[in-house]
Structure 1
Amino acid sequence: MVKLAFGSVGDSFSAGSIKAYVAEFIATLLFVFAGVGSAISYGKLTADAPLDPAGLVAVAIAHAFALFVGVSMAANISGGHLNPAVTFGLAVGGNITILTGIFYWVAQLLGSSVACLLLKFVTGGLAVPTHGVAAGLSEIEGAVMEIVITFALVYTVYATAADPKKGSLGTIAPIAIGFIVGANILAAGPFSGGSMNPARSFGPAVAAGNFSGHWVYWVGPLIGGGLAGLIYGDVFIGSYQPVASEYP
């Protein structure tokens, strides 16, 4: 069952919580700067030609590496979410309270927005690419794609980082999380854009001033993340002991 808990103001404004919000802001900023920056660099090097297979692989690898580093640098402070869908999925499983999760969201969205505004400035005003559903597909189809790939991401987070029985898997969690994001971008990039992360889509939309179809990158990831949290938290973790994770 869903283990959502609202939480207390005192806990959400403790010194540890404030440090966690700052860690989420910094890690998300650096992740988005590298990920979106790789897409901008590809566009500059190819005179804005359509993304080809080699470009897709390069962007996927950049996101995988950047997320691996981002999760690693924030894991001991905030848990290394860097993604509102991950935060929501962990809240569904009882690993973080709603109130603290809201402040995580604020930090993540701010980090992504600052990253994209910085990219626009340091590249001399080059266009910041936004996520969008490919021609020939409906936004509903794009949202379903985002549900599936975000489910895979958050399920991986639970299996490698939030499961009390993870054992040695916890040490490779950032690698596994980075790998699943890179693989999902390869699979979904040409169709839905392969976001899996409302913050990753929000920052570019802010910098570009374009929120067309933006709902896809909130509804899809949040449903996928919530389902992963519900299934892994209830079916697996809930079957052998109460949720008690070191992954906030």
Structure 2
Amino acid sequence: MGKIALGSGQEATQPDCLKALVAEFICTFLFVFVGVGAAMTAGKMLGDSLVGLFVVAVAHALIVAVMISAGFHTSGGHLNPAVTLGLAVGGHITIFRSILYWIDQLLASSLACILLKYLTGGQDVPAITLASGTGVLQGLIMEIVLTFSLLFTVYATIVEPKKGPLDGFGPLLTGLLVGANILAGGAYSGASMNPARSFGPALVSGIWTDHWVYWVGPLVGGGLGGLIYENFFIIRSHVPLSRDEEPF
């Protein structure tokens, strides 16, 4: 069973933490830049169509897989406050460092969306909102379920010490899961699964409608996913975070 580690303010000055924050910022920035950029391109060229949704899903699947791989050995390539929380409840990252990651992820997302708006000549940055006909409770439950599946997959394919034949395929499988979830829930809740992915577009567009859903849903789903997998499926003989162990 994982033990939650609080950490301390001293982590902020440690070289490994600073390196991790820089890597997490870069990976999250590129993830949001490509993901939101794909949504903007699809909206401009394909409109609100199944093909457009498919393009967005594929773009997110690819960029998530690549950025997790790119950041894995430095920051862990979380890209997502819900993933960070899910790993924190399992003791894989301290609470203090998790807070630093959250700030990092939100700043990276905001900067990526600001840059996208500038580079596209002021094109609207699409905020993630509930689709017409989707109620707040329905959207909330959708985000909880989708993010739960994300953390369950992260634990099963990346965190799990006995991965067997899945070893090394975790980032790719996680990316594929994100793409599949977008195809399943994109037309209803927007399938954010990521408060940072929702925050940047909302900040730049000024559209905050039901924005709380994209915090509560992913954080609840992510926390539950990490808690359940860590405590019911992983058998450990030691506490996973004895000092400043790398995330994941």
TM-score (norm 1): 0.94
Aligned counterparts of 2:140 and 2:13: Cα–Cα separation in 1: 34
Which residue matches 1:35? 35
Aligned counterparts of 1:150 and 1:101: Cα–Cα separation in 2: 18
| Aligned match for 1:134, one of 131, 135, 140 | 131
Which residue matches 2:161? 164
Offset at 1:58? 0.6
Offset at 1:167? 4.4
TM-score (norm 2): 0.94
Which residue matches 1:241? 237
Which residue matches 2:144? 147
| Aligned match for 1:188, one of 174, 177, 185 | 185
Aligned counterparts of 1:8 and 1:166: Cα–Cα separation in 2: 31
2:201 is aligned with what amino acid? P
**CA 97–11 in structure 1, closer or farther in 2 if over 3 Å, else same:** same
Aligned counterparts of 2:192 and 2:86: Cα–Cα separation in 1: 16
Which residue matches 1:223? 220
- Is the contact made by 2:68 and 2:76 (CA closer than 8 Å) also made in structure 1? yes
Offset at 1:116? 0.4
- Is the contact made by 1:33 and 1:115 (CA closer than 8 Å) also made in structure 2? yes
Aligned counterparts of 1:167 and 1:10: Cα–Cα separation in 2: 37
Q: Which runs of 4+ in 1 moved over 4 A?
A: none
Which residue matches 1:91? 88
Aligned counterparts of 2:204 and 2:180: Cα–Cα separation in 1: 26
- Is the contact made by 2:192 and 2:198 (CA closer than 8 Å) also made in structure 1? yes
What are the Cα deviations for residues 108-152 of structure 1, in whole angstroms up to 9, with x where unaligned? 111111000000000000000011111112111101000000000
What are the Cα deviations for residues 13-61 of structure 1, in whole angstroms up to 9, with x where unaligned? 3110011111111001101111100111112224xx3x21111111100
Aligned counterparts of 1:171 and 1:110: Cα–Cα separation in 2: 29
Structure 1 vs Structure 2 CA RMSD: 1.5
Aligned counterparts of 1:243 and 1:148: Cα–Cα separation in 2: 28
Give the unaligned 5+ runs of structure 1. Answer: none
Which residue matches 1:14? 14
* Other structure's SS at 1:16 match: helix
Which residue matches 2:195? 198
Which residue matches 2:65? 68
Which residue matches 1:124? 121
Aligned counterparts of 2:172 and 2:35: Cα–Cα separation in 1: 16
Which residue matches 1:58? 55
1:23 is aligned with what amino acid? A
* Other structure's SS at 2:74 match: coil
Which residue matches 1:4? 4
* Other structure's SS at 1:3 match: coil
2:237 is aligned with what amino acid? Q
- Is the contact made by 2:85 and 2:98 (CA closer than 8 Å) also made in structure 1? yes
What are the Cα deviations for residues 73-123 of structure 1, in whole angstroms up to 9, with x where unaligned? 100101110000000000001111100000011111111110000000000
1:124 is aligned with what amino acid? G
**CA 224–2 in structure 1, closer or farther in 2 if over 3 Å, else same:** farther
Aligned counterparts of 1:228 and 1:114: Cα–Cα separation in 2: 29
Number of residue equivalences: 244
Aligned counterparts of 1:2 and 1:235: Cα–Cα separation in 2: 10
* Other structure's SS at 1:221 match: helix
- Is the contact made by 2:130 and 2:139 (CA closer than 8 Å) also made in structure 1? yes
2:73 is aligned with what amino acid? N
Aligned counterparts of 1:13 and 1:94: Cα–Cα separation in 2: 21
